Amino acid sequence: MKKLLVILALAILLVPGVLMAQPPGCTWNGDPAIWYGFNNLTLTTPPGAYASGFHQPGPDTVRVLPGTLVTQQLRMYHAAYSWVPTCGVAGVYDTFCTVLNSQQGWATGGTPTIGNPYILVCTGSLYQFVTLQVPCEAVPGTVDRFIARMAYHNAGACAPECGDCNDPNVRPSDGLPRYNADTLYVIVLQPQPPLSILQDSLTLVDQGQTQAYIPFSICNEDACYPAFNYTLKSKGHVGPALNVSASVNVPGGDCVDVYGIIDAGLASICTYDTLTIIAWGGSAEMFMYDTCVQIIHVVSPEPVPLFTVPVVTILVLALILAAAVFMRRRAVSRA
């Protein structure tokens, strides 16, 4: 009897984390651990490729503009039975899920769908994309604490309240801990001047050209305000005066070309004109505009040479071939 009591006592001491820490109503068959946390895996390389080494545990930081969709890739792992400590058992499956939390309450998402169950065998893993939408109204300097957690899926629902049988889990080969959650601090930056117009200071237009396209590039750095209005005017020294009013959609981080079309069909050589563009957009809180002036100079069109080197070469070859054919026919007729 005493031997039996000693054996039971040893068993309780050896497995207290699995048998005694399990909350009521929760079933543990596996052990969740995030192998690669935030800022570890690139989005352009195959899963498993390293971007910047081991970043889990411990918080990481990204700095973004308002309106940015933050995208990260994590590797969710069913801790190996050889890790210390672990409640994973070789060949045993369990059902897990991913839970996201934004301290600022910003919209989160992911692929596979956040909260949906996924089944992993012990030592199995899943690559999870997670997203955080920074709103356009986010104030520069705001910091969001974005937390991703690997939890048990219990009784048909994602159940982070079931906790974890062991956290962290240490991989013996490298001695590094893996936790069931990782934190990303998202810092909102002050946007740079979001609207700018790029153009050449001087454009040469050939005399007689009736549709000379003069480009202006409207560039936008703010993903929150892609719609802009613009006016494009000329003084009328070269062709009829322009007075264009239009709108254009410019995605954040991109540029779109708009054109003033000049008629220099009757313009005199050396005539000058100016094209002035004004673009604006945004909102009452974030109004932005830019303006640029481009000079138009009418020049004499350069004559196109008729007998260029390639043309002369082709003509000579054609004459040689024609002479050869003529001589051959003459020789045949004599025979």
pLDDT in tens, 113-159: 999 999 999 889 999 999 999 998 899 999 999 999 999 999 889 99
- CATH assignment of 10-188, among 3.40.50.1820, 2.60.40.10, 2.60.120.10, 3.40.50.970: 2.60.40.10
Three-point CA angle 166, 171, 173, nearest 5°: 160
Residue 205 CB neighbour total at 10 angstroms: 22
Domain with CATH 2.60.40.10 in the chain: 10-188, 201-299
Q: CATH assignment of 201-299?
A: 2.60.40.10
22-47: pLDDT as tens digits = 788 888 888 999 888 887 654 444 44
Residue 2 CB neighbour total at 10 angstroms: 6
Contacts of 3 (CB under 8 A, 6+ apart): none
Residue 227 CB neighbour total at 10 angstroms: 11
255-273: pLDDT as tens digits = 999 999 999 999 899 999 9
Contact, 94 vs 120, CB < 8 A?
yes
C-alpha distances in Å from residue 205, one per residue of 202, 210, 211, 265: 10, 10, 10, 10
What are the structure tokens assigned to 59, written together?
């918080």
pTM: 0.65
Contacts of 166 (CB under 8 A, 6+ apart): 17, 31, 79, 85, 86, 87
Which class for 31: exposed (0-12), middle (13-18), buried (19 or more C-beta within 10 A)?
Answer: buried
Beta bridge partners of 255: 219
Strands of the 69-78 sheet, one edge to the other: 32-36, 69-78, 125-133, 108-111
Length of the chain: 335
pLDDT value at residue 131: 94
Most confident of 253-257, 315-319, 331-335: 253-257
101-116: pLDDT as tens digits = 999 999 999 999 999 9
pLDDT value at residue 192: 73
Specify the 3-state DSSP secondary structure of 312: helix
What are the structure tokens assigned to 39, written together?
């800022």
- The mean-pLDDT minimum among 61-65, 84-88, 239-243 falls in 84-88
